[in-house]
Amino acid sequence: MKKKMLKKFIPFMVCASFFVSGCQQTGQNAAADQAMKVESVVKAQGNVYKGKVAGVSNKAKTISITVGKGDAAKTMMVKFNDQTKGMEHAAKGEAAIIKYEVIGTDKIAVEVKPKLAKLPEGTTEVDTEYLANLVSQGTEKGNYFLVDSRPGSRFHEGTIPTSVSIPVPKIKGEGALAVLPKDKNIQLVFYCGGPT
């Protein structure tokens, strides 16, 4: 009787094992699909990696850079040498653009540039001298409104005189409209913690 019961459950167990292994395979395929998406983005950019620098090894002469976002992110590695330009921009945690060439099986960085944020249409970038001149005139004479868009904690550590704290999340929300000047002729100047 026990043998008959076992015979009835064997097909069930075999089917269950296929379902379980099939699910695992699907998970592996999803990871492979994500990796392929990152590779296709990299190939479309043509020997250029854009992302956040994950690390730099001066001993191994390599730069690791994370390309892509979220689950599709992948860390790529390139070598550098004495001819690589812009190595000062290859700092861990900083956004960078690495142009490389393939020599044999190695990817050699030719140039590293900072990955700067794109300015919205209708805005212009001002330099520190221009801003210092505005600040020295004061808000009345300079006719400007200076916004520190860094997190509030950074604002309280130190800020440019005359600036008002409006962190990025508040700028993105409707709360910014309540604190921005009503006069549309006042020049708005925003600054954050870095070039990205």
65 compared with 38, residue with greater pLDDT = 65
pLDDT at 20: 47
| pLDDT value of position 9 | 52
Asked whether residue 90 carries a pLDDT value surpassing 60, the answer given is yes
pTM to 2 decimal places: 0.49
For position 169, what pLDDT does the model report? 80
Where b means 16+ CB within 10 Å and e means fewer, 56-73 reads beeeeebbbbbbbeeeee
In terms of average pLDDT, the best of 18-22, 92-96, 191-195 is 92-96
Considering the domain 46-114 in this protein, what is its CATH number?
2.40.50.320
The band of 33, judged by pLDDT with boundaries at 50, 70 and 90, is: low
Contact 148/157 with Cβ under 8 angstroms? no
Predicted local distance difference test score (pLDDT) of residue 38: 47
DSSP-H helix ranges across 78-185: 128-142, 152-157, 168-172, 175-179
Residue with tokens 């962190």: 167
| Residue in this structure with the two tokens 């919205």, named with its chain if needed | 120
> Which of 47-61, 114-128, 150-164 comes out lowest in average pLDDT?
114-128
